[in-house]
Amino acid sequence: MVRLRCHGIEVAAMIDTGSQLMIMPLNVVLTAEKAGAKLDRLCRQIAAVECDVYDASGNRMDFLGCMETELELVGGKKSKIQMHVKRSKEDVVLLGTNAL
């Protein structure tokens, strides 16, 4: 696990070298918005590519949308990253190989 600064809040993130996508839980986005983040200034909505995505167990994954935003590894670099937003019970960001 690593710590990221995203939309002005610090969140937990898990590096998953088996995933090609970065997945942002909707709860993290909503928490940042409640904390005062101006998401329309911090994020850029991007068009999602229409394709089926499956998790490691073979279950189809559904996403709410895609966005690009700046993330900072706590104690490290800042980067603009594209990510998929998903409803999830977890508040952990999944860092796929596109973010490494």
Distances (CA, A) of 34 to 28, 79, 85: 10, 23, 17
Is the predicted pLDDT of residue 38 greater than 70, yes or no? yes
Quote the pTM value. Answer: 0.83
Which residue in 20, 8, 21, 3 sits closest to 91, CA to CA? 3
* 48 φ, ψ (degrees, to nearest 5): -85, 140
State pLDDT tens for residues 8-34: 899 999 999 988 889 999 999 989 889
State pLDDT tens for residues 54-65: 888 899 998 988
Domains of the chain, earliest start first = 2-99 (2.40.70.10)
Sequence-ordered list of residues with C-beta below 8 angstroms from that of 89, at least 6 positions apart, any chain: none
Joined together, the tokens standing for residue 12 give 């937990």
pLDDT given for residue 49 in this prediction = 66
